[in-house]
């Protein structure tokens, strides 16, 4: 027999209890958690998909249009397999130009420890990305400048 699935309200309440502060989603299904360094992790419940979205603003896209292709490439390279994002994703808000670090947490099997680990990971990753994006000159990973060489031909797959 599988353990019962915890509802989102109970999950958030227990998370707050363990953190030592009462927490609850507002009527819109959101909650903002403020951390050191002026970092806010937003939690947003999507009832239709039964997931909790965690997201943080980590920066702003460059005002200089010429700098944007390299900037976008840096974000895309980091997103591959969660390579530099702790399993989260980086994206751009189309209206504000803000760079968001987002993580989707399915609630079907979520427990307080799962939520705690997700929040901790998002905070650590967001802090790293805020520092990285605020650096006056960001080093683009060497792999980002290397020519693409397909290795699929060497596998000789057959259907």
Which CATH number belongs to the domain containing residue 13 in this structure? 3.30.1460.10
Q: Low-confidence residues of the chain, pLDDT below 50? A: 1, 142-156
The count of structural domains within the chain is 1
Residue 143: per-residue pLDDT: 45
User: Which structure tokens are listed for 134?
Assistant: 């605020």
What's the predicted TM-score (pTM) here? 0.82
What gap in Å lies between CA 103 and CA 109, rounded to an integer? 16
115, part of any domain: yes
User: Which structure tokens are listed for 72?
Assistant: 């976008």
Q: Which domain holds residue 121?
A: 8-134
DSSP 8-state symbol, 140: P
What gap in Å lies between CA 87 and CA 63, rounded to an integer? 28
Q: Quick one: residue 38, left, alpha or beta (phi over 0 = left, psi -120 to 50 = alpha)? A: left
- Residue 96: HSE in the Cβ half-sphere, 13 Å Cα cutoff: 9
Query: How many CB atoms neighbour CB 28 within 10 A?
Result: 8
148, part of any domain: no
What ranges make up the beta strands (E) of the chain? 30-35, 39-46, 51-60, 89-92, 98-106
152, part of any domain: no
Residue 37: per-residue pLDDT: 83
Residue 158: per-residue pLDDT: 52
């Amino acid at each position: 027999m599988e353990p019962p699935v915890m509802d989102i309200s109970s999950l958030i309440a227990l998370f707050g209890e363990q953190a030592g502060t009462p927490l609850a989603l507002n009527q819109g299904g959101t909650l903002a958690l403020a951390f050191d360094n002026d970092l806010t992790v937003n939690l947003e419940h999507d009832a239709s998909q039964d997931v909790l979205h965690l997201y943080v603003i980590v920066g702003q896209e460059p005002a200089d249009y010429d700098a944007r292709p390299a900037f976008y490439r840096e974000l895309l390279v980091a997103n591959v397999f969660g390579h530099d994002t702790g399993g989260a994703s980086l994206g751009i808000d189309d209206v504000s130009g803000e760079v968001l670090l987002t993580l989707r947490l399915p609630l079907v099997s979520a427990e307080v420890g799962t939520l705690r680990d997700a929040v901790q990971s998002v905070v650590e990753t967001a802090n790293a990305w805020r520092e990285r994006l605020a650096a006056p000159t960001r080093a683009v990973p060497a792999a980002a400048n290397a020519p693409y060489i397909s290795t699929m031909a060497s596998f000789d797959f057959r259907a």
